[in-house]
Structure 1
């Protein structure tokens, strides 16, 4: 299927993408752009796409990032409700994400934007490549709007037939109200909690339906007058209700009356993996492309768990004296490239270099530990390629919470976890790796050490500038 007439940019842009992205991932994206259903292109879950196509996650993520740079897709940073997975705020960049809690009216819950799990990154096909229904969300029917606009890519909806059955049970009624319209619904309320929720303005009215059924008609009027996540609560009895809905806002609204029961839980309660902001910030392709465009100068966003790896190159001073600046510079650059390649291959990224040292981050401790072991092996190979050289790394690892910040015109990290990781690296001798208990405490880390026949040797150390002694382990 060719790209639609008037959108021939698609052919040229996919051609450019082939020069930058993973070939198999480019082929999968090209096929999706040409043949995918509209809803599949509204919010692309990079990890689900990789699984469906049998491709590596990092290859698909990297290719989507290049596609965003070229204009084939549009990237969105979505703040998610920690309970229902709804998108509380969609942003074209991370710098638009506020640090304070967001309100989910559907769940009556506040969610703090934490980069580990409540900020996702999704991709939508650009209209210059192919127009889809979600490019005009005001045209989407109720459930299409909910699935393609309100809920994030981490919600795993049931298959079509099961979804239809559950939707009939979970939803009493839903209407579309254009600006200025008013509608009256006659409903019979079951003895269950109900939610009148509009996924456009995020306004919700909780209906506490309890007690003895009433033969008298009950009345409730709801007015929609702007995009704010208002939450109200009304006590009603089972029986007849005349519900008056009025739209005084400037855009269409889609109020639906949900039964807050098992059917709704099964409808929207499924979960699947999605691309988190934390993972993307530790992606080497992302850091290479968006080096200075990630955060605002005064922005501080929380990460609950990130693994930091610090290295320092030993023997570099003697090297400069022995071979001269030019040769030594080439060697140091070669060492930086090897470490960057290793970090990327293990799902991490080099944040910065400081002299001969490297600071890298990884989403999980086991990824950081695997990278440390691979970096040590890479240096051995580099020395073998250049007889007479004996460059070695001192490596330190630590895992914990931190803040994502903007420092010196680039995205960086701040906090005690970063300080501890840097201090741990100073304990290491040439060719050794020092890691803290949080890094080695996971089963996956233990399996890595067993694979390599490594037996961590504990050290009780007082780190400079760190008040308490922490358990540190040497991997000689």
Structure 2
């Protein structure tokens, strides 16, 4: 099929993209090459982290690139709900406010609640106005493209270092076919003892048939009917050996049928709770901790009042100490300018360390990070940058306090913006309240990470037990003294 590209529109939008911000050398050229010369499948549900690895750019640059490209209508962003057991795309949502977090895969009977950092994948597909790909019209795909490429994510592996889950499924596939409404199709093949799955990928309905080890000498004829949104079968037992299936579609919709045989020896070793192994991918949490996403897609909000769970989020709070005295000491105008310059510097440090500002509350700032190590790097840089800032402005004009905590949370929409709710946020705010000038307080959940201990090893660290307001039990916390770089742990 001839590749159809709107070259004029592509060039025009790439020029705008080039000027939107500072990009690494040649990155926009790489994107143009990717759009112009890639296979259709490679432009469908693009994983920006895979793109980053393949093009030797930073992960944050890769995510920013596709966010900007989506804002400029080069790509379309989608929120994908994945099956943990097989990697099937259960549902695809164009916007966050339409997304559901309930997973049910009728193929493998997997049921659970997704979290922003657990089985929610954000992907990018080329805009049909830029380049048409056959995946824009799934009804025109071949049956194998529809099942193995349209349905299953290529990022799901059967096991660590193993093949794609869809390829493994291909090894147990007996046959596939589309069956038009009010039509029938015949399939004939040999069976051994195990589980035969007859599954329709268009209507998400299936039939599981246990195959007996008893060998049928004469062959078997089995009739299966799809009617009233379900499968009916005329034969309760099917033996091993040659079997002829006649599948009749008595519904008003087309079927996309797959027949898969899982041998008994594989069934015996299957773990019902096993999940696929995912290659690195852009999940919902990582996207919401991108400042670029928050700046470009302010209208992407979570529907309703329930929110979506985040299994592990790092929250950083900062606050200024003595800001009232600062305004009194240096005057309103100078104090206002100093505080604004501080906030600008703080924001740059947070973004540089792959975090995002959620909100400001007076002189306080709440930021979130996908990786706790990034939050601690940001915290130490904020204090050190502020010390330098104060020296440049003739003394200790601004004093900052910082607290960091990690744990589960709930992403919600509050005051028309994405926010977070829960005890993790409360603890992070309370821990920040323990800090004094040039101090960072981190909780045990943050400190216990070995890479973080290495990161703060040049500073004086004082372990404490703290009773936080609203928290029933005392908590282990660690005071990090940025003004003392002695690589010591004080007891």
**TM-score over 0.5 for the alignment?**
yes
Please tell me whether residue 458 in structure 1 is matched to residue 463 in structure 2. yes
Stretch of structure 1 that moved more, 38-47 or 15-24: 15-24
Cα deviation, 1:393-426, whole Å, max 9, x if unaligned, reads 1000111111110001101000111111100000
| TM superposition score normalised by structure 1 | 0.90
Cα 1:67–1:168 change in 2 (3 A) is: closer
Task: Tell me if the contact between 1:13 and 1:70 (Cα under 8 Å) persists in the aligned partners.
Answer: yes
Q: What corresponds to 2:401 in structure 1?
A: 394
Stretch of structure 1 that moved more, 4-13 or 435-444: 4-13
Cα 1:5–1:40 change in 2 (3 A) is: closer
Task: Tell me if the contact between 1:186 and 1:241 (Cα under 8 Å) persists in the aligned partners.
Answer: yes
Stretch of structure 1 that moved more, 52-61 or 78-87: 78-87
Q: What corresponds to 1:116 in structure 2?
A: 117
Task: Tell me if the contact between 2:177 and 2:257 (Cα under 8 Å) persists in the aligned partners.
Answer: yes
Cα deviation, 1:28-65, whole Å, max 9, x if unaligned, reads 22111111110100110010000000000111101111
Q: What corresponds to 2:12 in structure 1?
A: 12
User: Which of 341, 355, 358 is the matching residue for 1:351?
Assistant: 358
The alignment partner of 2:472 has SS state of coil
Q: What corresponds to 2:292 in structure 1?
A: 285
Q: After superposition, where does 1:181-330 map in structure 2 within 5 Å?
A: 181-215=183-217, 217-223=220-226, 236-248=238-250, 251-260=253-262, 271-330=278-337
Q: Offset at 1:438?
A: 0.5
Q: After superposition, where does 1:431-450 map in structure 2 within 5 Å?
A: 431-450=438-457
Cα 1:16–1:391 change in 2 (3 A) is: same
User: Which of 425, 434, 437 is the matching residue for 1:418?
Assistant: 425
Cα 1:423–1:240 change in 2 (3 A) is: same
Q: Distance in 2 between matches of 1:140 and 1:210?
A: 35
Please tell me whether residue 146 in structure 1 is matched to residue 147 in structure 2. yes
Please tell me whether residue 473 in structure 1 is matched to residue 478 in structure 2. yes
Task: Tell me if the contact between 2:74 and 2:126 (Cα under 8 Å) persists in the aligned partners.
Answer: yes
Cα 1:130–1:393 change in 2 (3 A) is: same
Q: Offset at 1:143?
A: 2.9
Q: After superposition, where does 1:331-370 map in structure 2 within 5 Å?
A: 331-370=338-377
| TM superposition score normalised by structure 2 | 0.87
Q: Offset at 1:139?
A: 1.6
Q: What corresponds to 1:78 in structure 2?
A: 80
Q: What corresponds to 1:50 in structure 2?
A: 52
* Between structures 1 and 2, the one with greater strand share: 2
The alignment partner of 2:456 has SS state of helix
Q: Distance in 2 between matches of 1:222 and 1:276?
A: 40
Structure 2 gaps of 5+ residues are: 482-491
Cα 1:463–1:237 change in 2 (3 A) is: same
**Alignment coverage as a number of residue pairs:** 466
The alignment partner of 1:430 has SS state of coil
Please tell me whether residue 381 in structure 1 is matched to residue 383 in structure 2. no
Cα deviation, 1:155-189, whole Å, max 9, x if unaligned, reads 25999x99999676321111122333321222322
The alignment partner of 2:178 has SS state of coil
The alignment partner of 1:51 has SS state of helix
Task: Tell me if the contact between 1:103 and 1:229 (Cα under 8 Å) persists in the aligned partners.
Answer: no
User: Which of 412, 429, 435 is the matching residue for 1:405?
Assistant: 412
Q: Offset at 1:375?
A: 1.4
Q: Distance in 2 between matches of 1:229 and 1:312?
A: 62
Q: Distance in 2 between matches of 1:224 and 1:71?
A: 42
Instruction: Give the aligned CA root-mean-square deviation in angstroms.
Output: 3.0
Q: Distance in 1 between matches of 2:125 and 2:255?
A: 23
Q: Distance in 1 between matches of 2:388 and 2:227?
A: 66
The alignment partner of 2:468 has SS state of coil
Q: Distance in 1 between matches of 2:303 and 2:165?
A: 41
